[in-house]
Copies of this chain bind each other. A is one copy, B any other.
Amino acid sequence: MANERLINSCENCIVAWKNFKNLSRSEIRLLNDNRYEATFKPGEIILKQGSPSSNAVFLATGMAKIYIEGLDNKSFILGIGTPSQLIIGPGVNVHARQSYSVSALTVVRACFISFEVINQLIRQNAEFAFGMIEDLSVKSLALQSKLVSLTQKKMPGRLAEAILFFADEVYKSDLFDIILSRQELGEMTNMAKESVVRILKELETSGVVKSDCSKIQILDKEKLRLISERG
């Protein structure tokens, strides 16, 4: 976890969060003066569930795993943090504690921004406040849809959904090297790692995807989408 500043300014930071666009020059300066940059190695924990939340984490580069540590040491992977995402757990505004953990999947460069600063910006800039509300709402919607998927879809539907998520949201390509293990893919879709392997093979047999270890290729996207939607 090095501490040199590698990003010289928020203003120049090409990967800024959508909502930062609502800030004035001086507000960005405030942000820039109050951020702390850190680099994480794969596997390192960036935020720990249950710990006090005093900072938001802005992901500059790399990928991270956002997950809830549930019962019996079982994790549930909520999503994948990708560059220019601002990670703020909902616990922050309720009991000032992290409601999930975040760990680096690749080398990650992140900026920590104090909530005092964020709250000040919310207070003084209504558009920024709306942006925060929108961001929270988008995440809530995603949680709702996840809830439906997990309760109403069968394993093939859930796995198909996860594969589409990686193709469309994470890698933006139908051929990719998935960064998650089968175990983790299971933690994301609520299935045992053995089931992930089996369903993946089923999808391969029916000619929908091709998977060889970490490499996954979507062959018939329409069919995959159908499987994902039908459940």
Mark A residues whose CB is within 8 Å of B. 68, 70-72, 74, 76, 78, 90-94, 99-100, 119, 122-124, 126, 129-130, 132-134, 136-141, 143-144, 146-148, 150-153, 190, 230-231
Contacts and interface: CB of A to CB of B under 8 A. Distances in A.
Given A91-B137, A122-B130, A132-B133, A144 B71 contact: no
B136 A129 contact: no
- Nearest first, the 8 A-B pairs at minimum CB distance are A90-B140, A93-B137, A90-B137, A143-B143, A123-B126, A151-B190, A70-B148, A129-B129
Contacts of A140: 90, 136, 139-140, 143
B99 A144 contact: yes
Nearest to A69: B148
Quickly give the copy total for this chain: 2
Given A90-B137, A122-B129, A133-B136, 5 more contacts: A78-B147, A91-B137, A91-B141, A93-B130, A150-B151
Contacts of A230: 71
Given A71-B153, A141-B99, A231-B71, A93 B133 contact: yes
A171 B91 CA distance: 26
A129 B147 CA distance: 27
A72 B132 CA distance: 34
Contacts of A146: 147
A61 to B, nearest CB: 27
Nearest to A128: B129
A152 B76 CA distance: 9
A226 to B, nearest CB: 13
Nearest to A127: B123
A141 B136 CA distance: 11
A21 B145 CA distance: 32
Contact of A148 (B71, B123, B126): B71
